Amino acid sequence: MDFLIRRPIAVIVAFLAFVIIGVVSYTSLPVSLLPDIAIPQITIQMTDDEMSSEELENKVVAPVRRQLLQVVGLEKIESRVRNGLGLISLQFEFGTNTDLAYIEVNEKIDAAMNSLPQGTQRPKAIKASATDIPVFYLNISSKHEDGFMQMTTIAENVIRRRIEQLPEVAMADITGIPTQHLLITPDEDKMRVYGLTQSDLESALNNNNVETGSMMVRDGYYQYSIRVSTLLKNADDVANIYLRSGERLIMLRDVCRVEMQAQQEQGFSRSGDRRVVTIAVIKQANESMEAMRKQVDDLVTHFETLFPDLEFEVSRNQTQLLDYTISNLKQNLILGFLLIMIVALLFMGDMRSSIVIGLSIIVSLIGTFVPFYFYGKSLNIVSLSGLILVVGMMIDNALIVTENISQWKQRGRTLRLACGKGTSEMITPLFSSSLTTVAVFVPLVYIDGMAGAMFADQAFSIAAGLAVSYGVGIIMLPVVYRQMF
């Protein structure tokens, strides 16, 4: 210890650099509500609007599923298909490295591409995470009662897609959009004039909505997949169907009114007394929550100017909980300083000792963010709760070392000898105390399932905070104490 005490400038400059690195690390840390816990599940999404469900199952889903059965650690596989969309859910054993599994899944998808029809869009793999909880919900409503359907179109096709383009946003999930269906209303008078019946209309619709499948044509070394389809996709396709009336050809629109109408709804989204469309905004795992919130706020301001007939409201804002936790950490730190001042004045009778203790706590707390950065941890309510706990332990370490140095000084030792002796005596006791504290929280990491993964951040916060506090207490604190006195 005498070696360090005789070199105060080197020690202070080293810790000043450590504090600067800690501040830079803090600004670079991702901020989220929960730790980034990988859920052992991967979903494969396949889309093709030109295929029926049976064709999609046989030509796309089945070849991909056969390849995915070879993935290591696979516990369960399920597939679901409907017109134009196929989903394969892969469930892995808990503890499986989902990053490696994700890479392997994509390799199997690439291998299956040779078996898929030419021109098929590559299946998309989606990895689940605990950070997929929406950060907040954006409610969109129309100022005019008759403008709701137009508002839903803007919300789904413009606003949601623009939000998803933000680099901080992983996904924007929209709810409250009414489902539409096609309504065909025959004109009885015109039907009689043209000699048509309802059966003629039904036959025309059935004959013009046919999926004939596909066939392979070989030309020398080349092989082509040809698909013939007459599926009806929108209202114009239905309205333009030709009907035979005697020797004449007429269109369906000539004898029927064809329009899209909202179906009878099973549920809807409301905010207060108004009907709204709700967009759940999910953050990227490695992005800051504050940065995402600022980007979305700027985008909403732009939308308010672009669409003056729409109103925007943010609800269920999870960032408020995180702000409260950070505010709680700051409040505990301030209360800790006040208690230190009171304890130092009442029992030690010295204001300078309390300043030394407070300075060591600040350095310890800022320095704790350095291992956070290098180990890829995020600031969330779990890790921040660990920091709140460890602040009190930091105060104990600094207070014990300062008190022991003061006792050696009161015995008549020189200031340099008191700093050296007082600190050296505390090296082993503080190390033992830190180990016993860490031993209480480390077993949380070995809890099975999601609970163990969740509390791992708290155990890491406490272990990192105690390690940094121990280093500051036995290296920097005696040097600063000597300079202060």
| 3-state secondary structure string across 467-483 | HHHHHHHHHHHHHHHHH
pLDDT the model gives residue 437? 84
> Judging by DSSP bridges, how do beta strands 211-219 and 256-262 pair with one another?
unpaired
Distances (CA, A) of 217 to 45, 59, 136, 223, 226: 29, 16, 52, 6, 7
User: Residue 184: which H helix or E strand, with range?
Assistant: strand 180-186
Over 70: is that where the pLDDT of 365 sits?
Answer: yes
pLDDT of residue 370: 92
Rounded Cα distance, 170 and 296, in Å: 13
The span from the CA of 169 to the CA of 294, in Å, is: 12
The confidence band for 377, taking pLDDT boundaries of 50, 70 and 90, is: confident
- Residue 230: pLDDT band (50, 70, 90) is low
Of residues 74 and 344, the one with the higher pLDDT is 74
pLDDT, one tens digit per residue, over 401-445 is 888 888 888 888 888 888 888 888 888 888 888 888 888 887 776
Report which of residues 90 and 273 the model is more confident about: 90
Q: Which of 112-116, 188-192, 264-268 has the lowest mean pLDDT?
A: 264-268
CA-nearest of 432, 428, 425, 358 to 398 is 358
pLDDT digits over 387-396, tens only?
888 887 887 8
Residue pair 33/15 in contact by the 8 Å Cβ criterion: no
Considering the chain, what is the average pLDDT of its residues? 81
pTM: 0.62
- Give yes or no for residue 74 having a pLDDT over 80: yes
pLDDT at site 168 = 82
Rounded Cα–Cα distance for residues 244 and 194 (Å): 9
pLDDT digits (tens, 9 = 90+) for 163-212: 888 888 877 888 887 776 778 888 888 888 888 888 888 888 887 777 66
Q: Quick one: pLDDT at residue 369?
A: 92
Which of 244-248, 311-315, 326-330, 392-396 is most confident?
A: 311-315
CA triple 335-337-338, angle to 5 deg: 65
Query: Could you identify the residue written with the tokens 């008549």?
Result: 412
Q: Can you tell me whether residue 389 is helix, strand or coil?
A: helix
Give the Å distances, CA to CA, from 114 to 43, 274, 288.
21, 51, 40
Spatial distance between the Cα atoms of 332 and 139, rounded to a whole number of angstroms = 35
Q: At what angle do helices 477-484 and 8-28 cross, to 10 degrees?
A: 120
Tokens 């207070």 map to which residue? Answer: 399
Residue 255 pLDDT > 70: yes
Pairing of strands 136-142, 310-315: antiparallel
Report the range of poorest mean pLDDT among 92-96, 155-159, 195-199, 385-389.
Answer: 92-96
Where residue 381 falls among pLDDT bands split at 50, 70, 90? confident
